[in-house]
C-alpha cells in the first residue's frame, strides 16, 4: 500500500501538475499586468498597518490576522525540510526556481483571495465562510468541483495539517532533547485545543502574536549566519544562479531535475494554487475583495522570498549537500556549521514552532471544508476530533498517513486552478475596480497632508 501511495504521490506532484500550477501563475500575471511587482510595497503597507483596517466592513478577523492565519499554515516544515530536500535532489539551482515559482505564485495567491472574498457567504452563526468550494459553486456554477475540493481538503487537514505536524514535533524533540513522544503529544494537544476550540477569532488572535515571533526567531538566526559570513555569500548566490541553468536543470524529461524540485518544493512551501489560504482570507474584515487580496499576496513573498531564502542560502554556504544528510538534519547541520550546537537548536525549535503553527492554521481550513460538505453543526465535533488526532499523530508512525495526505494536498490544486482560470475575468474586473479606489484614496491622502 505504501508503494502504491508513493507512486500516486509522484504522479500527482509530477510535471503536469507543476506546469499547471506555475502556468496559471504566469497567465494571471500577464492578465493582471504584473500586479505583484507594481503593488508589493503598497500591499505590505496594507498588511502591516492597523490604520488600514475597515471596522465597518463585514468579516471575523482583521487583514493582518487573516494574513498571519494563512502564514501559520504555510510557514511550516517545508521552509526547513522542503528547501533542504530541494537542494539535495535538485542542486543549489533549485533555490532559484523556488524564487521564480514564488514570484508568479503571488499572482495566484492574489486571485485566490479576491475570489474568496467576493463569493464568501455568512453562515448561521454570522461568521464568514469562503474559499475555492464557494467560488467554484457560486462563481463557476460547478458545485461538484467545490465538493471535490472540500473532500480533498478535509482529508489533507487531518494528515498534512495535523498528525504529520505533531509527529514532526515529537520526533524533533525526542531526537534533540530526549522528550518522550507522549509528553510532546499531550502538551501539543492541550495547547492546540485551547486555540482551536475558540474558532477563527481565537486562531486569529494567537497567530497575530505567535507567527511574527516564530518567523523572526528563525530568520534572525539565518541572518546572523549570512551577515557574519558575508565573504562567502556572493559565491553561494552565484552558485544558485549558475546551477539553475546547468544541463541537469534544463534536461531530464519534461522538466529538468533542478527545475522540477525547485518548483515542487516552492509550491509545497507557499501553497500558491493549492486553494488553502483563501479560506482564511475569506474571514477578513474588508470593504473590497482587492484590498484583502493584496494583503494575502504578501504571504508568498514572506514565506518563500524571505524565509525559504534564509534556509536555502545557508545550506548552499555550508556546502554539506554531498554529506549524505537530507531534510531537517541537513538544515540543522548547516546552521550548526556556522553557529555550533546553538545553530542546530535554532532549527529544531524552528521545526517545532513552524509545525505547531501549521497545525493551528490547517485546523480552520479543515473546519470550513467539513462545514461545506455537511453543515455548521458538525464544527464542534470536528474540533474535538481534530484536537484528539494531534496526540495520536505524535506517538505513531505515519508514513502511510503522510503519503495519503500528500496526494490529497496535490489533488486540491486541480479544482482550484480550474476555478482560477475560469474566473480570471472576474479577478481582472475586481482588480480594476479596487485600483481606482486605491488611486483616489492616495490622492485624498496627499490633499490631507498638504492641508
Mean pLDDT across 33-43:
94
**pLDDT given for residue 436 in this prediction:** 93
Q: What is the pLDDT of the chain when averaged over all its residues?
A: 87
Residue 378: DSSP 8-state: G
- Give, in order, the Cα–Cα distances in Å from 81 to each of 179, 249, 430: 21, 21, 37
Cell of 96: 532559484
Mean pLDDT across 65-86:
80
Tell me the per-residue pLDDT of 160-210, one tens digit each, with 9 for 90 and over: 888 888 888 888 888 778 889 999 999 999 998 988 888 888 888 888 888
Q: Spell out where 359-402 has E strands.
A: none
Domain ranges of the chain: 8-450
Residue 307: DSSP 8-state: I
**pLDDT given for residue 63 in this prediction:** 75
Highest average pLDDT, of 236-250, 374-388, 435-449, comes from: 374-388
**pLDDT given for residue 127 in this prediction:** 84
Q: Residue 66: name the closest of 279, 212, 367 by CA.
A: 279
**pLDDT given for residue 279 in this prediction:** 93
Q: How confident is the model at residue 35 (pLDDT cuts 50, 70, 90)?
A: very high
Tell me the per-residue pLDDT of 280-335, one tens digit each, with 9 for 90 and over: 899 888 889 999 999 999 999 999 999 999 999 999 999 886 778 877 788 889 99
Q: Per-residue b/e over 437-450, b at no fewer than 16 CB within 10 Å?
A: ebeeeeeeeeeeee
Q: Residue 309: name the closest of 250, 367, 363, 233 by CA.
A: 233
Residue 51: DSSP 8-state: G
Place of cell 503536469: 16
Mean pLDDT across 360-387:
91
Count other C-beta atoms under 10 Å from residue 230's C-beta. Answer: 8
**pLDDT given for residue 305 in this prediction:** 92
Residue 306: DSSP 8-state: I
Q: Which residue has the higher pLDDT, 54 or 202?
A: 202
Integer Cα distance of 71 and 275 in angstroms:
13
Q: Which fold has domain 8-450?
A: Amino acid/polyamine transporter I (1.20.1740)
Q: Residue 371: name the closest of 54, 51, 49, 146 by CA.
A: 146
Contact at 8 Å (CB) between 225 and 314? yes
Cell of 157: 487537514
**pLDDT given for residue 405 in this prediction:** 74
Amino acid at each position: 500500500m505504501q508503494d502504491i501511495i508513493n507512486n500516486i504521490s509522484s504522479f500527482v506532484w509530477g510535471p503536469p501538475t507543476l506546469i499547471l500550477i506555475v502556468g496559471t501563475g504566469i497567465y494571471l500575471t500577464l492578465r493582471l499586468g504584473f500586479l505583484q511587482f507594481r503593488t508589493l510595497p503598497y500591499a505590505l503597507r496594507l498588511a502591516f498597518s492597523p490604520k488600514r483596517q475597515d471596522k465597518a466592513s463585514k468579516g471575523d478577523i482583521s487583514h493582518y490576522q487573516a494574513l498571519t492565519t494563512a502564514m501559520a499554515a504555510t510557514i511550516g516544515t517545508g521552509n526547513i525540510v522542503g528547501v533542504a530536500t530541494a537542494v539535495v535532489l535538485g542542486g543549489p539551482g533549485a533555490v532559484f526556481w523556488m524564487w521564480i515559482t514564488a514570484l508568479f505564485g503571488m499572482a495566484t495567491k492574489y486571485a485566490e483571495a479576491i475570489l474568496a472574498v467576493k463569493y464568501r457567504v455568512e453562515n448561521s452563526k454570522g461568521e464568514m465562510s469562503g474559499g475555492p468550494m464557494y467560488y467554484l459553486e457560486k462563481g463557476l456554477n460547478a458545485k461538484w468541483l467545490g465538493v471535490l475540493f472540500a473532500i480533498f481538503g478535509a482529508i489533507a487537514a487531518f494528515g498534512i495539517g495535523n498528525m504529520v505536524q505533531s509527529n514532526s514535533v515529537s520526533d524533533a524533540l525526542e531526537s534533540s532533547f530526549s522528550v518522550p513522544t507522549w509528553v510532546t503529544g499531550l502538551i501539543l494537544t492541550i495547547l492546540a485545543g485551547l486555540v482551536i476550540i475558540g474558532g477563527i477569532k481565537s486562531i486569529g488572535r494567537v497567530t497575530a502574536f505567535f507567527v511574527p515571533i516564530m518567523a523572526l526567531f528563525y530568520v534572525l538566526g539565518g541572518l546572523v549566519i549570512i551577515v557574519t559570513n558575508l565573504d562567502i555569500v556572493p559565491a553561494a548566490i552565484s552558485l544558485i544562479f549558475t546551477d539553475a541553468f546547468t544541463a541537469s536543470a534544463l534536461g531530464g524529461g519534461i522538466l529538468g531535475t533542478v527545475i522540477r524540485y525547485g518548483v515542487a518544493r516552492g509550491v509545497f512551501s507557499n501553497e500558491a494554487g493549492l486553494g488553502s489560504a483563501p479560506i482564511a482570507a475569506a474571514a477578513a474584515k474588508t470593504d473590497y475583495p482587492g484590498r484583502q487580496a493584496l494583503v494575502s499576496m504578501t504571504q508568498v513573498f514572506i514565506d518563500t522570498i524571505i524565509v525559504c531564502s534564509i534556509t536555502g542560502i545557508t545550506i548552499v554556504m555550508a556546502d554539506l549537500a554531498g554529506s549524505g544528510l537530507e531534510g531537517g538534519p541537513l538544515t540543522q547541520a548547516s546552521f550548526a556549521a556556522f553557529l555550533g550546537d546553538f545553530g542546530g537548536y535554532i532549527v529544531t525549535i524552528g521545526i517545532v514552532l513552524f509545525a505547531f503553527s501549521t497545525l493551528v492554521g490547517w485546523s480552520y481550513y479543515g473546519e470550513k471544508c467539513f462545514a461545506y460538505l455537511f453543515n455548521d453543526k458538525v464544527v464542534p465535533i470536528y474540533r474535538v476530533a481534530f484536537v484528539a488526532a494531534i496526540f495520536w499523530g505524535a506517538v505513531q508512525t505515519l508514513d502511510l498517513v503522510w503519503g495519503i495526505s500528500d496526494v490529497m494536498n496535490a489533488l486540491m490544486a486541480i479544482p482550484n486552478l480550474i476555478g482560477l482560470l475560469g474566473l480570471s475575468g472576474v479577478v481582472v474586473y475586481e482588480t480594476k475596480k479596487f485600483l481606482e479606489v486605491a488611486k483616489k484614496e492616495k490622492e485624498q491622502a496627499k490633499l490631507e497632508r498638504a492641508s
